Structure 1
């Protein structure tokens, strides 16, 4: 998962046919767990580009993307939000959500 900044946001995420953006805080224990849950998704759904953003450095994106809490996973297709996930309850449920997104865009 590539760490990006708000400056590289439009060049990376908004141009991708399928992009997953993980928004986190480094002091959030749940965020660390959620990030580990995403590791198998990167292998299973390798056609999706995976990015992560530290919420402390993206105040303008918090407002524009309506991020209400962390951890947050936003799934985009060419800059359009297709899914937003806040609940990282299990790897199988996360996989189902990403599978739905994958089917939606293909």
Structure 2
């Protein structure tokens, strides 16, 4: 997983179909658990694409653009603003199914 710290990179990813971005805030304990589960999924699969992580505190405008209402949130960018967002990180299986 790769952390996003650059405004230009996040803008580029938001326009690129298939981008996978995990949004969190640093003091959110649920986010830490969700990130561990996401890490398990990405390590178990030999994924060709990178999963990006993004501290939503640095990019609050992204929440409005994508309709993120809470964290943790896992987003897959689609074409024509048909983005998919997962808010309920119930299990590793749930995350794996969402990404496939």
TM range (shorter): 0.7 to 0.9
Q: Which residue of 2 is the match for residue 52 of structure 1?
A: 53
> Of Structure 1 and Structure 2, which has the larger fraction of its residues in strand?
1
- Alpha-carbon separation, structure 2, partners of 1:47 and 1:78: 19
Q: Which residue of 1 is the match for residue 3 of structure 2?
A: 3
Q: Could you list the runs of 5+ residues in structure 1 that have no partner in the other structure?
A: 100-106
CA distances 1:78-98 after superposition (whole Å, capped 9, x unpaired)? 684431100001111211121
> Of Structure 1 and Structure 2, which has the larger fraction of its residues in helix?
1
Does the 8 Å CA contact 2:78/2:84 hold for their aligned counterparts?
no
What is the alpha-carbon root mean square deviation over aligned residues?
2.0
- Alpha-carbon separation, structure 1, partners of 2:62 and 2:98: 23
Shift of 1:64: 1.1
TM-score (norm 1): 0.79
Instruction: Indicate the SS of the match to 2:69.
Output: coil
Q: Could you list the runs of 5+ residues in structure 2 that have no partner in the other structure?
A: none
TM-score (norm 2): 0.83
Shift of 1:73: 0.4
Change over 3 Å in CA distance of 1:41–1:48 after alignment to 2: farther
Shift of 1:58: 0.8
